[in-house]
Structures are given as structure tokens and as C-alpha cells.
Amino acid sequence: MHTRRLVKRSVLGSRVYAPSPTGDGAPVTGVVQAVKQENRDLSAAGARRSVYTVLMQDGSLKEFFEEEIASGFNHTAAKGPLKSSLKQNSSNGAPDGQKVEGSCLSPEPAEEQRSTDGKRVSRDSDTRSVSLLEQKRKVVSSSIDVPHARRLEEEVDMDKVTAAMVLTSLSTSPLVRSPPVRVSEGLSGSWKDNGSAGPFTPSSNSSSGGYWSWSAPSDQSNPSTPSPPLSADSFKPFRVPSLGGVGPGPAGPEDPILDEQDGSSLLFDEPIPRKRKNSMKVMFKCLWKNCGKVLSTAAGIQRHIRTIHLGRNCDSDCSDGEEDFYYTEIKLNTDSVADGLSSLSPASPSVLSPPPPPPSPLPSVSQLPDSHKPTQPSDTKEPHACGTTPLSRSAPSALYLIHTDHAYQATAPVSIPSSSSNNSAGSASTSFTPTNSSSFSISWQSPPVTFTGTTVSPSKSQGFGDQRSQTIAVLSSPPRATAALSRKVRGEGKKCRKVYGMENRDMWCTACRWKKACQRFTD
């Protein structure tokens, strides 16, 4: 499966070298359009061979056996057949980003293809549903002591593939394009931090802080990270954080299957515009001197540059990507983020306030090509203020119900709140976008678990009104919930110790005697 996936994923759309059609020996480049199994008994062994349909520079389609073509710009890596060269990448432990770069960096056609690949889209929904759990698992695994042999290997694999993906999407941005290597290094570096040298101690809460540090910062706060060129990509930032933060879940740190899915989800999720926030319109602006042409599509701007400024007259396939240097993307705020926020906050303030987890969303939204950075998004929304006084406005009863509802579903609340607060103290609160609500709500709902406890014991001697207010309090301050999470809220009722006193310790319930939660006078 692994292999198959790799091939499928990496080869399609990859730029490869193929023998010159003219036979003059000079290899030409093309983009793999399709792969199929050749049944004919061509090879000596009679084994089936893969046949790659390659779109050549001149626009023609040609078929090659895998032995005939080589992938990547890196000639050394291109020695072997396509498939095997890819495999090497994945199994080779050396953090050598070059190979990945070679095969994945440049082909932006690949990116386009992927985003339109129907199979992946459907498949994605499956993957996505588990991705949260997986992510958690992944994080956990990185901080837990686990036999490294196998895991490391896969991790490296992931690093590379992911890095490649990132690079791929980045490659179309003129601003970052030049120092691609740097970007890749930064990326893999931060990952590694988490993976092997995780500063977090296993099993302790502190690891929570690490959640965000591994994905969010590296992916977003990195100033050199430009937003991806394609609008469809704009939601990518959301994903990463949601994954990192939420991931509650049982998870065998070393489960290869999960790992794989994880990897695939990471790769395939991105191009799917599903979650995309539609309030942003992406335009592409030509940066050529004295030419401020703005087009709505990347293809359009590329063609414009290619034909007008570069004087080339072939279609996109013969481009070497140079156009990318001459345009930049601009994000236009059609219906401002503020709108979305303001409309949201009144509805369920409590839900909004807690989700500092989406530190990611904000950055993503405001993150524009380095050059044009309208700080608008963050400024426009001060609903921020609402977040601080959420409860006061909404009907308590409503909240009550809502939370009761979800409390049971909650899994691991994860320390999203805390981590997020670190991450983007100022901006975090402003960051919730409607898009996100789904992902983070899950994570922060869990804390209310505590609350569940209170509800369950209506028999309590105390007035319901009291209880209710308490509950509300808990809800209104999600951050606290975190604490509640780790430790059961101290029951306010009398306990064996109080009732019987130390002198009658033998009358205590066993739990009390054992310094456990009292079983006799439960709250």
C-alpha cells in the first residue's frame, strides 16, 4: 500500500526526463499524466511494467516505460527507474531534501492535477475524519518513548513528502521561490525537534504546549512562508493546526497504518477546497516592471507573463516556471472576516471564546504574500471583545444544553487552549473563523466534561440554581476547563474524612482511605 500510494501520489504530475523523441540523446522533460500497467510481456521476466504517459514539452503525449524515464532535475537521483528512485527517497534516512525537491518541487502542474483529482477528493473525506485523532497520536508518539527504528523511518518519509508538498505549493510564489532550500530546512528542522528531541516530557501535560509548536509555527508563523498561490490552498493553514491541536485519540504511536493515513491526509487534504473560506478572493498580479496587470487565475497570469513579458509562445507545458517569479497573489477580502466573526460571536460566544486553538486560522487569513499584507482582517474584527464577555450575553440555558450535549462526545480536550494562548496571545482571540469552528469546537468542548459531572447529580442537596451558575462559570472559562480536565473538580460535598473524622478512619469508604475519590459521598 505504501508503495502504491507513493507512486500514485508522486508520479502523477511529476516532471520527468524522458529520452529525446528525436533520438539525439538529449533528454527532454515532461510531466507524467498517467500511469498504467502494461500487460504485454515485454520485459524479459514477463513481469508487468508500468507505462507512463508523459506530456512532453512540445505538447505531445508519449508513453514510456519506467526504465526509460527518470524523475526530477537531479540527475544523480534520476539514475534508476522512476518508481525505485521514489522509493529510495522514502526509505533513505538521510535528511537530504534534495531528492524530494528534485521530483516534487517544480511541477506546479502536478499541484493542479492533484487538486482536481476526483479520487482523492472522495478519499479525503474518509481520511479527514480520522485525521484529528491521528494527529494527536502523532504528536503523542513523538514525545513518547518508543522504539525508534521503524518510526523514524516513516517519520523521515513523512517529513520529506510533506516538505515536498509544501515546497511544491510554495514554488509558485515568487517571493519564496528563490530560497526554497531554506524553507525546506526550516520545516524539517522544526519537525524534527518534535519528533526526536521533543522537549516535552512524555505523558505530562506539558507536551500540550508542543502541539502547536510543531505545526503551527513552522507552517505559518514563519515569516518566509508565503501563502500558496492557488485559492484552493488557502485553507491549508487551517488544517495543520487543527490536526496538531485536536488530535485526541488513542493511538499507538507506532501504528504504521495510522501513520500512513496520517501522511496521506496531510498530503491530500490540502488541495480540497472543501473547507475553504469563500470570503477571500485571490487575484494574481503581474510584478513585471510597469505592468500591474491583475488576473483572477494563476494560469492566466502565467500565460500573460509568459507571452507578454517572456516572449514565449507555447502553452504552459513548456514553461519552466519562470513566470512564477513575476507575479504575486493578492487576496481580496470580499466579505470581510469581521462579518463572519461578528455574526458568529453573538450566536454562541462561549464557543468562540475558548477556541484560541485556532491560532492557525488567523495567521492563515491574514497571511498574504509577504509584500501585500493587508492587516485588515485582524484589525477589522474586534468581536474579540465579545469573546471576553461571552456568557453575559447569551442565554445560559442554551449554553447549558449545548454543552451537556457535547460533553459526552468529548474526547481528549487536549491542551489546545493553553497552547494557543501562547501562540498568538493577541491575535488568537480574533482568529476564529467560521470555517474553523467545526474543528476546534470539538477540542474545547471536551473540557466541559467536568461540568457533566455536576449535571449528573441532581440529587444534590444544593439548589439547582447554584449548580447551574457553577456550570455556567465553568463554561464561560474554557481555559479553566483544561485544569478540570486533568484533575477532577473537587467535590463540594462532605467526604468520609469530614463526616467521620480521622479518628474513625475505618468507617471511611475504601476510596477515601486510599486517598482516592470518595465513593460514598460522590458529587
Residue ranges that bind DNA, judged by CB under 7 A: 203, 483, 486-488, 490-491, 494-498, 502, 510, 512-518, 523
State the minimum distance, in angstroms, from the CB of residue 483 to DNA. 4
Which one, of 375, 389, 370, lies nearest residue 337 by Cα?
375
Cell numbers linked to 445: 468542548
Which one, of 392, 307, 380, 306, lies nearest residue 338 by Cα?
380
* Residue 274 vs 490, nearer CB to DNA: 490
Inter-residue contact 284 to 301 (CB < 8 Å): yes
DSSP H helical segments within 389-424, as ranges?
A: 390-393, 396-407, 416-423
* Residue 22 vs 459, nearer CB to DNA: 459
* Residue 379 vs 492, nearer CB to DNA: 492
Gyration radius of the chain's alpha carbons: 27
Which one, of 213, 250, 255, 5, lies nearest residue 132 by Cα?
250
* Residue 139 vs 484, nearer CB to DNA: 484
State the minimum distance, in angstroms, from the CB of residue 457 to DNA. 12
Identify the residue whose cell numbers are 517544480.
106
CA 325 from centre of chain = 26
State the minimum distance, in angstroms, from the CB of residue 520 to DNA. 9
* Residue 150 vs 490, nearer CB to DNA: 490
Q: What is residue 516's DSSP assignment?
A: S
State the minimum distance, in angstroms, from the CB of residue 248 to DNA. 15
* Residue 130 vs 483, nearer CB to DNA: 483
H or E element, residue 8: helix 2-11
State the minimum distance, in angstroms, from the CB of residue 407 to DNA. 16
State the minimum distance, in angstroms, from the CB of residue 379 to DNA. 35
DSSP 62-120: EEEETTT-EESS-TTTTSS-HHHHHHHHHH--S--HHHHIIIIIS-HHHHHHHHH-HHH
* Residue 276 vs 513, nearer CB to DNA: 513
- How many Å apart are CA 171 and CA 266, to the nearest integer? 18
State the minimum distance, in angstroms, from the CB of residue 449 to DNA. 12
